[in-house]
Amino acid sequence: MPLAVGALGVLCAFRHRELPHWTASAASFMLSGAALLYFLAFHFGQGDGVIAAAAGILMGGSCTLFFLLWEMFYVTEGQQRALICIPLSAAMSVGLYLLICLLPSIAVALTAVCVLPFLALLCLQKSLAEIEADVTAPLTRPALRRAVGDLWRPVLCVSILGFSWKLIAGIEPAQSSGGAAVLVGFAAAALLVVALELFLSKGFDILHICQVLFPALTVVFLLPSLFGQQYTTLLVAFLMFGFEVVNLLLIITCAVYTIRNGLPSSPLYALCIGPVLLSMAVGSGLAELLGPALSDDLAHWTNVILLCVVLLSVALILVTRGKGQALASMTDAELLNRGTTLRRGRRDGRHDPSSTESGAARTANEPLPLDAVASTEAGPAPSDGPSEQQHRIHSYLEERGLSPREIEVAELLMKGHTVSAIAGKLFISENTTRGHAKSIYKKLDIHSRQELVDLDDQLTRA
């Protein structure tokens, strides 16, 4: 997965294009093939190392394609769906896993090979049908440097937690209860993030969460050393909980940062999530190298605990020193209700027309600092109020005689939405939408959607 995420992120950055929609079908077939090879290798005794490796390659490539395509969709649809659906989907996956566990082994294999990949493809294709494939804005070196400067601290924190979790879980003596501990920690983290998104009236950011979480995890790390290794399962559960909390926040951070700065989604996802996946692979590999027998040696086990505590302490120091300088991952309640949209693959950082009343985003060329989003100490976000770009385009369309409804349709067309998606969002028929589009083209003296998109770019750069 880290190799696939990095490779596809770099490919999209160089080609200035996001992944085409047909790759969703490829991801589904790869997922089905990976599940089939997995069951052959590990459950039906027909496999060997080659089949297991092939299953891992297919699974990594499939998950990467699904992750990048869903990130592209959330970036296009705006922050409202991303902020709620990302953690909610994680919580729902636990329920789905428990439901499948109730089935007999043959039914589980058939479900994993035939049913789940098809359902995943169906959901993704239905969502991608709302947007159109398009050329993305290039990820320039200044934008890349700014993104690295904004994101490296939260990425480092999540990477350290992922490494520690995989290392401890890999050498845990009580492997039989470790799976249940991981599941409980994962579910609790997903539900916590969903609750925070739904009920927290003030914004907060991932670095503040780390400042609270890391000292608590440090205390839990000491339990096996002080009171015995029977507390290792509890440590694994807490590590899974802490990692999944900040990991979900990092994924949301990536989506919000991409939306607000008008950057291509796949390279930014690779920049955020690639190092995390790599650190987890390193942690798993190190645990495999050390071997489960390490857990029986108290001295070596203490050294492993000490290593993780030192890493968490270093991350905490960096987070504290970087307070106010990195990216805010979360947003305030007003942003949740704004339902912003962004034309996929363009550098337009504006919100949906409906956001004019509640406040528009920062301009696409502005960096997004840590205090750009409201926190419990910072007060209201400074992004309240329509942006200069939004005023400029709105005024231009009004001067050309467009009605308020035509302006709404024009701005959604500029953002890459299809006629059917616009009709659904504005609660009008597709024929009415096409009629508005023809009127827009006539009043602006243009003849195609591409000319409308080019006009939008010209006004954005003006």
CATH of residue 396's domain is 1.10.10.10
Whether 53 maps to a domain, the answer reads yes
Whether 178 maps to a domain, the answer reads yes
Do 84 and 8 belong together in one domain? yes
Residues pairing with 135 in the sheet: 17
Whether 417 maps to a domain, the answer reads yes
Whether 365 maps to a domain, the answer reads no
Do 97 and 235 belong together in one domain? yes
Whether 363 maps to a domain, the answer reads no
The contacts of residue 411 (CB under 8 Å, 6+ apart) are 350, 352, 353, 393, 397
**262 close to 240: Cβ distance less than 8 angstroms:** no
**268 close to 147: Cβ distance less than 8 angstroms:** yes
Do 398 and 314 belong together in one domain? no
DSSP structure string for 193-218: HHHHHHH--S---HHHHHHHHHHHHH
Give the Cα-Cα-Cα angle 98, 101, 105 (nearest 5 degrees).
165
Distance CA 75, CA 261 (A): 11
Q: Per the structure block, which two tokens stand in for 174?
A: 């009580």
Do 309 and 410 belong together in one domain? no
pLDDT value at position 389?
Answer: 63
Of 304, 321, 338, the residue at which a domain comes to its end is: 321
CA distances from 242 to 81, 209, 320, 439 (A): 23, 10, 18, 53
Do 253 and 390 belong together in one domain? no
**233 close to 178: Cβ distance less than 8 angstroms:** yes
Sign of CA dihedral 428, 434, 435, 436: positive
Question: 250-254: long-range contacts (C-beta < 8 A, 24 or more apart)?
Answer: 250/154, 250/155, 250/158, 250/206, 250/276, 250/329, 251/71, 251/86, 252/82, 252/83, 252/86, 252/87, 252/329, 252/330, 253/151, 253/154, 253/206, 253/327, 253/328, 253/329, 253/330, 254/71, 254/151
Of 300, 321, 342, the residue at which a domain comes to its end is: 321
Do 124 and 260 belong together in one domain? yes
Distance CA 326, CA 19 (A): 29
Whether 138 maps to a domain, the answer reads no
The boundaries of the domain holding residue 92 are: 2-129+150-321
pLDDT value at position 47?
Answer: 64
CATH of the domain at 81: 1.20.1250.20
pLDDT value at position 320?
Answer: 73
**295 close to 232: Cβ distance less than 8 angstroms:** yes
Do 290 and 424 belong together in one domain? no
Distance CA 243, CA 163 (A): 9
Residue with tokens 């789940």: 116
Do 414 and 301 belong together in one domain? no
Of 295, 321, 347, the residue at which a domain comes to its end is: 321
Question: 375-378: long-range contacts (C-beta < 8 A, 24 or more apart)?
Answer: 375/202, 375/203, 375/204, 375/205, 375/208, 375/328, 376/202, 376/203, 376/204, 378/203
Report the number of distinct structural domains present in the chain: 2
Q: Encode 73-109: b = buried (16+ Cβ within 10 Å), e = exposed.
A: bbbbbbbbbbbbbbbbebbeebeeeeeeeeeeeeebb
Whether 359 maps to a domain, the answer reads no
Do 86 and 230 belong together in one domain? yes
Q: Per the structure block, which two tokens stand in for 341?
A: 């949209």
Instruction: Classify burial at 123, counting beta carbons within 10 Å of its beta carbon; exposed 0-12, middle 13-18, buried 19 or more.
Output: middle
Give the Cα-Cα-Cα angle 308, 313, 315 (nearest 5 degrees).
95
Do 29 and 173 belong together in one domain? yes
Whether 68 maps to a domain, the answer reads yes
pLDDT value at position 116?
Answer: 94
Q: pLDDT (tens digit, 9 = 90+) per residue, 318-344?
A: 777 654 443 443 333 333 333 333 333
Q: pLDDT (tens digit, 9 = 90+) per residue, 355-401?
A: 333 333 333 333 333 333 333 333 333 333 445 666 777 788 888 88
Do 392 and 282 belong together in one domain? no
Collect the ranges in the chain with pLDDT lower than 50.
174-177, 323-386
Do 27 and 156 belong together in one domain? yes
